[in-house]
Amino acid sequence: MGNSFDTQLISVCCIAFALVAAFLLLDLDEKLFSGKTELGSTSYAETPKPIEITGPSDTTGEIESQSSKPVVQTPSKQNLAAQAQKGAKSRLSELESRQFRLELSGDARISSSNMGKNTNLIILMNPVKGTGLSEFRVVELRFFLDGSGLPLHDTGVKISGKDITIGLVSQKGQYQIHGLLEKNLLDTTNDKQNVLLSDQKMYFTKKDIPYILNLKGNLSS
């Protein structure tokens, strides 16, 4: 009976020892495992680097400032020439649709005399379209010498630059008198300009004795 009690006591002690050992081993294993976990997390977890945001470079700023500036486009020589040509065509078309009035006054004297007579010359004329204001058809022509009207026949009026030519017909035949305009018709924006006739010979009945005209006035449209 004593041997049986000792055996039971030894068995209980062994079981208790085994439990204590198992508990100690389990506690040690948990500590080791938790240490490895902390070590692993410490070793492999990387702190993210802050992202550096840098401002635009000076070159980029210059490019943007240059691109933001308004671009001023200057008209080319071809565009200016085209605009000028278009304006001239428009002006020509406008003037061709108008009627022109040439009104001159002054004196006329016989070439062998110093005595002059008051003289007035009035011509109404229309441009011949397609001639660029170089040819005009006379609608009405009136010539007054000391207040008396004298019949005259014409062959038309021509203008070249500043030169104006009036074609007339008398018993002598056809002849021309010439005058000078202040400006080319297309170069002026005014509807009236000065005209001058100096020392022009006009024939009536006696073909050998002309009148010398000195007239001035204006051409209007």
Half-sphere exposure of 98 (CA within 13 A, CB side): 14
In the block, tokens 């943007």 appear at 64
Residue at 185 is within a domain = yes
**Could you tell me how far CA 177 lies from the centroid of its own chain?**
44
What is the span of the domain harbouring residue 115?
101-220
4-30 pLDDT per residue, tens = 656 666 766 667 667 666 666 666 555
Report the percentage of the chain scoring pLDDT > 90.
42
Residue at 142 is within a domain = yes
Residue at 17 is within a domain = no
The more confidently predicted of residues 36 and 218 is 218
- The count of domains in the chain is 1
Q: Which amino acid is at 199?
A: D
Is residue 216 within 8 Å of residue 187, measured between CB atoms?
no
Token pair, residue 7, equals 């055996």
Cβ of 213: how many Cβ atoms within 10 Å?
22
Residue at 83 is within a domain = no
131-152 pLDDT per residue, tens = 999 999 999 999 999 999 888 8
Please give the model's pTM, rounded to 2 decimal places. Answer: 0.60
Interval 88-113 mean pLDDT: 89
pLDDT higher than threshold 60 for residue 98? yes
Is residue 216 within 8 Å of residue 197, measured between CB atoms?
yes
Residue 136 has what pLDDT?
97
Is residue 99 within 8 Å of residue 137, measured between CB atoms?
no
The more confidently predicted of residues 121 and 91 is 121
Residue at 59 is within a domain = no
Adjacent-strand bridge partners of 123: 102, 141
Cα–Cα dist 156/168, whole Å:
8
Q: Please, which pLDDT band fits residue 158 given cuts at 50, 70 and 90?
A: very high
29-45 pLDDT per residue, tens = 555 555 544 444 444 44
Cα–Cα dist 64/101, whole Å:
63
Q: Give the chain's end-to-end CA distance (angstroms, integer).
A: 161
Residue at 76 is within a domain = no
Max mean pLDDT range (58-67, 70-79, 134-143, 184-193): 134-143
Q: Within the chain, where are the H helices?
A: 2-44, 58-68, 77-96
In the block, tokens 């977890």 appear at 45
The more confidently predicted of residues 152 and 156 is 156
Residue at 120 is within a domain = yes
**Which among 186, 185, 169, 188 has a CA at the least distance from the CA of 177?**
169
Residue at 31 is within a domain = no
